Amino acid sequence: MHSNLVANFDSVVKRNPGETEFHQAVKEMFDTLSDVLERHPEFARLSVVERICEPERQIIFRVPWMDDSGKVHVNRGFRVEFNSVLGPYKGGLRFHPSVTLDTVKFLGFEQIFKNALTGLPIGGGKGGSDFDPKGRSDAEIMRFCQSFMTELYRHLGEYTDVPAGDIGVGAREIGYMFGQYKRITNRYEAGVFTGKGLEWGGARVRKEATGFGVAIFTNEMLKTKGDSLVGKRVIVSGSGNVALYAIKKVHQLGGVVVACSDSAGSVFDKDGLDLELLVQMKEVERLRLSDYSAKRGGLSEYHEGLNVWELAGVASAQVALPCATQNELHEKEAKLLVANGLIAVAEGANMPSTPDAIRVFQQAKILFAPGKAANAGGVATSALEMQQNASRQSWSYEETEKRLEEIMRGIHEACVTTAEEYGAPGDYILGANVAGFERVARAMLAMGVI
Ligand code: NDP
């Protein structure tokens, strides 16, 4: 590793003690940047790497709220505004009990380069809370979102910081937060949030965009080998926003998804998952995946407590799309997938594969798309939502989907050509990291020491 990267990594670890996910995200990035620093000594001379690793601003705040029985709870809210050289901070909010500053920093760091890779004018940020929405009533969710926004609103703005959803934050939560923002500021500033409802400033295809993009990217990778998703058996982890629409697009592109999961267990449906049923259960009825088999009339199996990747033996999948959460796919499961005919992996979630799992895929020459590239369709479509808000326009479904496809193909192309240019053909991790980093670093140099 280049000496500047070694020194900066030591410093990141020292200055951010215990933040192991943030360290992991930085290490994965640095592992691919040595040649960039050799070619551009000015990046080291002007401390670009050191500056990129330090968020421009980190906000931590108290979120008090009352549950339906009158009990008061106190959660912690976060927003890490990481880098704004390419545009306003942009990145989702996550509501999950596991959220810490570490989680938000790793996600915000990744977001800088992902957003740069889209070629659109968006900086990088991320936020969230350790609030657990599971089992909470609508009224409780609303009170929490209103309290969260009562502090966060002062840091947001369509030219400053534009959040969206992530784990535990969908259209309902965005509605409550946008409503509170509008009420406090007395401004209908549609471009301050993305992922809004279609009737109040949202964009068509935003809901589907991340999952659709993952499947489109996978198909593009397969095409480089003269292949496609047609006839491929696929395992998806998770059954949330990203997973559901990855499943939908895989089916549209001719593949068949045979397994998915939630945090309690996994479903195996050997002839292909019933997507309509899943969407109804998860988005409308807000049910758990354990109810799927009963509703499917015994055609599928539910495995309580099983990580979906452990189904690799029975599923015989050629494609794996991890779409749940970070570090969910480990070395042992990667080996099982490879032993059972895997040819491609595309990360719908952020950093879902552990470094050991990635090594297994690379050694086995599996096509591997990192989240930065494969799941960038969501934030790209958020940027399209901001464009529509700014121009007071609303594009058709077909028009928006066409643009999403073009953006995903563009990101794929950028990864392929950058990897070739750096002597690592087929290395999508290097391609995505370097293409994203170079764009951010050039803009930072142009703007002086800020
Ligand atoms: P959702 O909340 O809609 O769904 C998350 C899914 O993953 C659920 O099925 C959930 O199960 C499962 N899950 C969450 N945490 C865990 C865990 N610790 N162990 C096992 N399963 C878990 O979130 P999204 O679909 O929006 O996000 C999924 C991933 O995609 C995240 O990594 C996110 O950062 C990333 N992403 C999302 C984008 C978006 O546009 N939404 C954009 C780019 C990336 P359960 O319901 O049981 O908790």
- Say if residue 251 is in the same domain as residue 159: no
In order of 378, 406, 424, the CA distances from 199 in angstroms are 19, 26, 46
| Residues 239 and 347 grouped into a single domain | yes
198 Cβ inside 6 Å of ligand 1: no
Q: CA–CA separation, 300 vs 178, rounded Å? A: 39
Q: What is the mean pLDDT of residues 325-331?
A: 98
Query: Quick check: is 374 in a domain?
Result: no
- Residue 365 lies inside a defined structural domain of this protein: yes
Range(s) of the domain holding residue 324: 207-369
Average pLDDT of the chain? 97
Tens of pLDDT, residue by residue over 244-279, are 999 999 999 999 999 999 999 999 999 999 999 999
Summarize pLDDT for 120-144 with one digit per residue, the tens.
999 999 999 999 999 999 999 999 9
Q: What is the pLDDT of residue 24?
A: 98
Number of domains in the chain: 2
Q: How many residues does the chain have?
A: 450
Q: Cα(43) to centroid of ligand 1, in Å?
A: 35
Asked if 126 is an active-site residue, the reply is yes
Evaluate whether 339 touches 366 at the Cβ level (below 8 Å): no
Atom of ligand 1 nearest to the CA of 94: 34
- What does the pLDDT look like over 4-63, one tens digit per residue? 999 999 999 999 999 999 999 999 999 999 999 999 999 999 999 999 999 999 999 999
Do residue 351 and residue 327 come from a single domain?
Answer: yes
Among 204, 223, 250, give the residue marking a domain's end: 204
**CA 209 to ligand 1: nearest atom:** 40
Nearest protein Cα to ligand 1, atom 3: 240
Instruction: Assess whether the C-beta atom of 32 lies below 6 angstroms from ligand 1.
Output: no
Cβ-based neighbour number of residue 231 at 10 Å: 10
Q: Residue range 209-221: average pLDDT?
A: 98
47 within 8 A of 5, measured Cβ to Cβ = no
Q: Tell whether the model's pLDDT for residue 299 goes beyond 90.
A: no
DSSP assignments along 217-262, one per residue: HHHHHHHTTT--STT-EEEEE--SHHHHHHHHHHHHTT-EEEEEEE
- The pLDDT of residue 298 is above 90: no
Residue 192: its pLDDT value, please? 98
* Same domain, residue pair 176 and 235: no
User: Is residue 324 one of the residues assigned to a domain?
Assistant: yes
**Do residues 139 and 227 both lie within one domain?**
no
With a 6 Å cutoff on the Cβ, whether 210 touches ligand 1 is yes
- Which of 118, 134, 263 most suits a substitution to test ligand 1, by most atoms within 8 Å of the C-beta? 263
Q: Are both 106 and 178 inside the same structural domain?
A: yes
* Percent of the chain predicted with pLDDT > 70: 100
Same structural domain for residues 198 and 260?
no
Residues 416-448 have pLDDT tens digits of 999 999 999 999 999 999 999 999 999 999 999
b/e sequence 153-185, b meaning 16+ C-beta within 10 Å = bebbbbeebbbbbbbbbbbbbbbbbbebbbeee
Q: In this structure, is residue 46 part of a structural domain?
A: no
- Check which CATH number belongs to the domain holding 144 and give it: 3.40.50.10860
Beta-strand ranges (E) seen in 282-413 are 301-304, 319-322, 344-346, 367-369
| pLDDT at position 350 | 98
Asked whether residue 433 is assigned to any structural domain, the reply reads no
Ligand 1: atom nearest CA of 170 is: 3
Please check whether residue 235 lies inside any domain of the structure.
yes
pLDDT of residue 297 exceeding 90, the answer is: no
- pLDDT tens, position by position, 50-99: 999 999 999 999 999 999 999 999 999 999 999 999 999 999 999 999 99
Residue 332 lies in a domain: yes
Answer whether 263 contacts ligand 1 (Cβ < 6 A): yes
Task: Verify that 141 and 290 share a domain, yes or no.
Answer: no
Beta strand pairing call for 233-237 and 161-164:
unpaired
Query: What are 347's two structure tokens?
Result: 């990360």
Residue 6's contacts (CB-CB under 8 Å, 6 or more residues apart) are none
Residues 347-368 have pLDDT tens digits of 999 999 999 999 999 999 999 9
Q: What is the CATH number of the domain that holds 235?
A: 3.40.50.720
- Choosing from 162, 241, 351 the residue with most ligand 1 atoms within 8 A of its CB, the one to mutate for a pocket test is 241
Domain boundary among 204, 238, 253: 204
**Same domain membership, residue 217 and residue 347:** yes
Average pLDDT over residues 216-224: 98
Residues 6+ apart with CB under 8 A from 293: 267, 299, 300, 301, 302
Which residue's CA lies nearest to atom 21 of ligand 1?
263
Of 90, 105, 126, 248, the catalytic one is 126
Rounded average pLDDT over 106-122: 98
Residue 22, both tokens: 């943030």
Same domain, 139 and 213: no
Nearest ligand 1 atom, CA 264: 47
Tell me: the pLDDT tens digits for 378-423?
999 999 999 999 999 999 999 999 999 999 999 999 999 999 999 9
Is residue 98 situated within a structural domain? yes
- Which of residues 204, 223, 257 is at a domain's end? 204
Q: Are residues 295 and 365 in the same domain?
A: yes
Residues 132, 211 within the same domain: no
